[in-house]
Amino acid sequence: MGEPAGIGGDITLKAWTLRGDSRLPPFFVLDDPARLAALAAALGLAVPVQAVASPAEAAALFDRALPVLPVELNIPAVAGRPDPANGAAVIASIDRAVALVQVGQAAAVVTNPIQKSSLYAAGFRHPGHTEYLAHLAGLTDEPIMMLAAADLRVVPVTVHVSVRDAVDQLTAAAIIHAGRVTAAALVRDFGIARPRLAVAGLNPHAGEGGAMGREEIDVIAPAIAVLRAEGIDATGPRPPDTMFHAAARRGYDAALCMYHDQALIPVKTVDFDGGVNITLGLPFVRTSPDHGTALDIAGSGAANPTSLIAALKTAERMAGNRRAG
């Protein structure tokens, strides 16, 4: 479902209308059918919304209607105005999706964006989607976030913290964990037999031999040495400003970046509309559009479904690779 006051419903309906042109895999939605039907009418989209009792009904129905496994809202959703009263329904949709994929009734989980402030007001105690999914999966290790677009995959080692805190939190152990999880996921989920990881430096010119900082010498290079000793093809530290042009991207399968913007700026520059957020290290496949709830355009018809379409197709490929492996 995602945040019912955001663009999750808009892009879901639009994605279904493009199912043939985009060659989408069949999917069903965990949401309020009445909400989606009313939204389709308001947006002028010819989307027949059909409630289903189980995921088994969805595949046969998908070509002619959008299958929806009902999740009832506590109050009617108003576009652009999140209400904590619906927080329980948002969380319930996540819980049900994970439960279904864990028992094999769904191949993957694709999540629409949530409004964290609204969930926090409803008593949600996790930083975000990723951490909550790790909790539901019973993980003790931290899952890893990957952003993928076109021919670029990036993994930030530190994520939603300030640049100052990112430097303080950057450790060899964190880089090693990100490298291990990323390499394993590239094999299992992307079918790459021998993944190549490019590891970015933190400082300009990758520290210039210590002249511009010692993190490359004291933290990053030792982590790369451990990864290489384990048989992972990791190279670096590389100067971040020369890692992301087209020729450089052909030399690796994923880039390990040291902080949030070092990873997200290049991926959003390469493909702003088509980026996909992927959680690595979970026992099931999870993808998401690489954007937020866009409350300012919710319900207006302006939302672009490209990222959700990419997330659905990426989830299908990942699930297929897991089955084949």
Identical fold at 1-141+274-325 and 151-270? yes
Residue 135 in marked binding region:
no
- Classify domain 151-270 at the CATH topology level: Isopropylmalate Dehydrogenase (3.40.718)
At 22 the pLDDT is 84
Residue 268 in marked binding region:
yes
Both tokens of residue 171? 């450790």
Residue 313 in marked binding region:
no
Is residue 104 packed enough to be buried (19+ CB in 10 Å), middle (13-18) or exposed (0-12)? Answer: exposed
Classified as helix, coil or strand, 10 is: helix
Residue 19 in marked binding region:
no
Both tokens of residue 154? 């990036």
CATH number of the domain at 1-141+274-325, out of 3.40.50.300, 3.50.50.60, 3.40.718.10, 3.40.640.10?
A: 3.40.718.10
Residue 205 in marked binding region:
yes
Both tokens of residue 290? 């690489």
Question: For 20, phi and psi rounded to 5 degrees?
Answer: -75, -50
Ranges of each domain in the chain: 1-141+274-325, 151-270
DSSP for 161-198 reads S-HHHHHHH--HHHHHHHHHHHHHHHHHTT--SS-EEE
Is residue 302 packed enough to be buried (19+ CB in 10 Å), middle (13-18) or exposed (0-12)? Answer: exposed
Alpha-carbon distance of 172 to 188, in angstroms, equals 24
Residue 130 in marked binding region:
yes
Q: Beta 144-149 vs 152-156: how paired, if at all?
A: antiparallel
Q: What is the mean pLDDT of the chain?
A: 95
Q: Answer whether residue 75 shows pLDDT above 90.
A: yes
pLDDT digits (tens, 9 = 90+) for 12-56: 999 999 999 889 999 999 999 999 999 999 999 999 999 999 999
For the chain, percent of residues with pLDDT exceeding 90: 90
